[in-house]
Amino acid sequence: MKTFKIGGVHPAENKLTAEVPSRPAAIPAQAVFSMYQHIGSPAKPVVKKGDVVKVGTLLAEADGFVSAPIYSSVSGTVSKVDAIVDASGYRRPAIIVDVQGDEWEEEIDRSADLVTLTDRPELTSEEIVARVKKAGIVGMGGATFPTHVKLTPPPGSKADCVVINGVECEPYLTADHRLMLEKTDEVLVGISLIMKAVKVEKAYVGIENNKPDAIARMQEKAARYPGIEIVPLKVKYPQGGEKQLIQAITGREVPPPPGLPIQVGVVVQNVGTAFAIYEAVMKNKPLVERMITVTGKPLARPANLWARIGTPMKALIDECGGMPEDCGKVIGGGPMMGKALMNLDVPVCKGSSGLLLMNGKESRRAAIQPCIRCAKCVGACPMGLEPYLLATASAFKKWDVVEANDIVSCIECGSCQFTCPSNRPMLDNIRIGKSTVMALIRARNAK
């Protein structure tokens, strides 16, 4: 079975919600739309206080090419255009809408009928990209990079295949798994649209073999869509990393930063993004809701919820049995790469794939012991780096050493820290080193 070549770890899977069918979450009383839901320049608000909006009304437009518009996911009145504390802990501009009823813009097709590419043969690749751009779709796996940018290969480069990420290597998370099971055809049509947009004939869907039902369902239905191949992969974290997935499926190696997948002829998209693209192009529905896994051992009823963008995280927890008493940490995303939330009023964003509650004992770090030179971290690093060296050199501010040892290649997957028997905080130090080196490189290039 295929997998990436070097490094990787296998954390306990804990997929508590793998068997739980998705259901829509309640519409909140107030929805909050952060202007920072994607990488790139923040969106620019186009509504003001008192404006009446419906589901699918444009709230903020894209500011530049690497940016994405934001649509209302609820109907009601704009109560404030202000700043809110978002997942970063800082106050950032946002639009707050008081919800009344649930009215949708007329042009959105809300029926469940499947529209395939054969029904719409007139769609050109430019049109697909334009619709994706208009719908405000960003990478749904969590990176939130505007999708239309990825679907527009830079001049001089040409993709020869599309790699679809259905790996979901993060423990606990099952949103992509449920999406592949429940919306199989929609996801496959979405993949066909991506293939048409980047003008390739071949798409590979990587799925880890801890989801045999999803693999079987996708394989069964993919037979009807030309060029789509389902590739079962061995379970290993961080297989969902772009570079790792490309290596696992195609055997190609993406050059180190600033190298991009397109340089080896690959465009990578998440299954969630494929589904959003289907809805945007075929159903005229902008990105207003997404599946999010709300899970964790202390939680009473973990679930996969279709949440409207802008729903406060607190409402989702309440829907899954309320805040448990023994909760030490709430993480936005998965346990490996997610970020602990500082407050629960943070809204669901386009990139929110999971909400994980940890009990008091799980959430605390173990005592840090001295490094015993076992080199487990070196073996675990999927990028072939030497985490112990990078961490120590960063702690001592040896920026030249960390730069020479390729710290910018680090994908911050945390495998080193996970595998360390001495619980050394390697990733914390490496992040400091990486951000410093990147700032130094930027300063050098600016000269």
Partner 1 sequence: MHLIWIAVLILGAVGLVSALVLFVASRKFAVEEDPRIGEVSEVLPQANCGGCGYPGCSGFAGACVKAADAGSLDGMLCPVGGQPVMERVASILSMSVAAAAPKIAVVRCNGSCVNRPRVVSYDGVKSCRAALMTGTGETACAFGCLGCGDCVAACQFGAISINPETGLPVVDEEKCTACGACAKTCPRKIIELRPKGPKGRRMVVTCVNRDKGAVANKVCQASCIGCGKCVKTCPFEAITLTSNLAYIDPEKCRLCRKCEEACPKGAIHAINFPPRKPKAEPAVAASVSEKPEQPAAEKTAARSNVESN
Residues near partner 1 (CB under 8 A) are 85, 88-91, 339-340, 342-343, 364-365, 425, 428-429, 431-432, 435
Nearer to partner 1, 342 or 371 (CB): 342
Give the DSSP letter string of 160-189: -EEEEE----SSS--HHHHHHHHSHHHHHH
Shortest reach from residue 237's CB to partner 1, in Å: 21
H-helix or E-strand spanning residue 58: strand 58-61
Residue among 132, 60, 61, 68 nearest 97 (CA): 60
Nearer to partner 1, 22 or 429 (CB): 429
- Going by the DSSP 8-state scheme, the letter that residue 64 receives in this structure is S
Shortest reach from residue 86's CB to partner 1, in Å: 10
What are the structure tokens assigned to 30, written together?
């107030």
Give the DSSP letter string of 357-385: EE-HHHHSPPPP-------HHHHH-TT--
Judge whether 57 and 105 are in contact, CB under 8 Å. yes
Shortest reach from residue 363's CB to partner 1, in Å: 9
Shortest reach from residue 425's CB to partner 1, in Å: 5
Looking at the DSSP bridge assignments, the partners of residue 304 are 293
- C-alpha distances in Å from residue 139, one per residue of 38, 102, 285, 446: 8, 27, 16, 29
Strands 44-45 and 70-71 come out as: unpaired
Nearer to partner 1, 48 or 339 (CB): 339
Judge whether 151 and 261 are in contact, CB under 8 Å. no
What are the structure tokens assigned to 18, written together?
């793998």
Nearer to partner 1, 26 or 439 (CB): 439
Nearer to partner 1, 5 or 91 (CB): 91
Shortest reach from residue 428's CB to partner 1, in Å: 4
Nearer to partner 1, 112 or 367 (CB): 367
Shortest reach from residue 346's CB to partner 1, in Å: 11
Shortest reach from residue 79's CB to partner 1, in Å: 16
Nearer to partner 1, 251 or 425 (CB): 425
Dihedral angle sign, alpha carbons of residues 287, 291, 294, 296:
negative
